[in-house]
Amino acid sequence: MTSPEIRPAHPAECANPAALTVLYDGACPLCRREVGVYQGLTPRQPLAWCDVSDPATALPAGATRDAYLARFHVLRGGTEVLSGARAFVALWSALPGWRWLARAAALPGATSGLELAYRGFLRLRPALQRLAHAFEPSAAVPADLIAEMRSDHAGETGAVWIYHGVLAFSRDAGVREFALRHRDTERRHLERIAEVLPWPRRSRLLVPWRAAGFLTGALPALCGPRAVYATIASVETFVNHHYQQQIDRLAGRPEHAALRDMLIECQADECEHRDESLARRATPPGRLLALWCNLVGSGSAAAVHVARRL
């Protein structure tokens, strides 16, 4: 979903007596969409557009910026400020194809009814704004990396739950200390990715990812510390490669340097987890454990494949 491109008015236009000036809240995704629709109707309009959320914008006298942000206004003839339903009617009467709506609003009681409906909308507006913000593309994540970030979010969710699984069944003091420490790190990773990936972009399969993570931690925990460390080493080896692919894709894109830095920091933690697991594993896995580790590696790859899409 992309936001419509808004043609902002020069602040001086807010007092242009030759035009009907629309005073809109450019920080509100709902207002931006509506204004985008009006602006797209015809290239030549007797209208000026004034973003009242911009602190540099000089506003018509008589009301505060907060008051202009709280309701829809137009400025007619450079001096007369209309608000709410009356402002919409003035705007529609200036727009080709919308004048019938202005004529309908001129019927007895129609403007009052419209004003009541507008006040009802204003009560819902904060909740609708939050919803619209959540669906807007994130400036932090480029469109071509949304699917990868969705898989990162799903992966970090699974990682947290791997340690829930380990802690549910392991009574080994060393394993428990290791799992508690690593779980904290994975929670931080999850929070950082959640900050840049709005919830509508996240995987719809978070419950299955939690269950898969829990089992991936619980099963080796039942078998002993060596199985836990071997499992974590396998998972982290895969995660390291997964993060590296994204870091490579963001190379040479300075506008996304912050995202790349975040991924590099997460990757460094994963490599530490891998190396610590390998050091604690002491001896290479036997055939059965090696088979399990291969299964964990290919399961992680399959999960990423699914999480990119769902």
Does position 86 bind Fe ion by CB under 5 A?
no
Cα 217 → chain centroid: 29
Task: Pick the closer one to Fe ion by CB: 148 or 186.
Answer: 186
Name the one residue in this structure whose structure tokens are 């339903």.
Answer: 85
Edge-to-edge strand order for the sheet containing 47-51? 47-51, 20-24, 73-76, 80-83
Task: Pick the closer one to Fe ion by CB: 51 or 270.
Answer: 270
8 Å CB contact between 20 and 94: yes
In a 3-state reduction of DSSP, which class is residue 24? strand
The distance of closest approach from Cβ of residue 63 to Fe ion in the complex, given in angstroms and rounded to an integer, is: 50
What does the per-residue mask of binding to Fe ion show for 88-127, with x meaning CB under 5 A? ----------------------------------------
In whole angstroms, what is the distance from residue 73 CA to residue 76 CA?
Answer: 10
Interacting residue with Fe ion among 125, 150, 183, 273 (CB under 5 A): 273
In whole angstroms, what is the distance from residue 110 CA to residue 103 CA?
Answer: 10
Cα 285 → chain centroid: 41
Q: What is the H or E stretch that residue 31 is in?
A: helix 29-39
Question: What residue number has its CB nearest to Fe ion?
Answer: 189
The one-letter amino acid at 107: L
Does position 32 bind Fe ion by CB under 5 A?
no
The distance of closest approach from Cβ of residue 193 to Fe ion in the complex, given in angstroms and rounded to an integer, is: 9
Which residue stretch of 74-82, 152-160, 168-176, 296-304 sits at the interface with Fe ion (rule: CB under 5 A)? 152-160
Interacting residue with Fe ion among 32, 153, 189, 260 (CB under 5 A): 189
Q: What is the H or E stretch that residue 20 is in?
A: strand 20-24
Task: Pick the closer one to Fe ion by CB: 147 or 271.
Answer: 271
Does position 153 bind Fe ion by CB under 5 A?
no
Q: What is the H or E stretch that residue 131 is in?
A: helix 110-135
Does position 152 bind Fe ion by CB under 5 A?
no
Which residue stretch of 47-55, 65-73, 192-200, 270-278 sits at the interface with Fe ion (rule: CB under 5 A)? 270-278
In whole angstroms, what is the distance from residue 151 CA to residue 1 CA?
Answer: 20
The distance of closest approach from Cβ of residue 204 to Fe ion in the complex, given in angstroms and rounded to an integer, is: 21
Which residue stretch of 66-74, 154-162, 201-209, 290-298 sits at the interface with Fe ion (rule: CB under 5 A)? 154-162
Does position 270 bind Fe ion by CB under 5 A?
yes
Phi-psi region of 233 (alpha: psi -120 to 50; beta: other; left: phi over 0): alpha
Applying CB under 5 A, the residues found at the interface with Fe ion are 156, 159, 186, 189, 270, 273
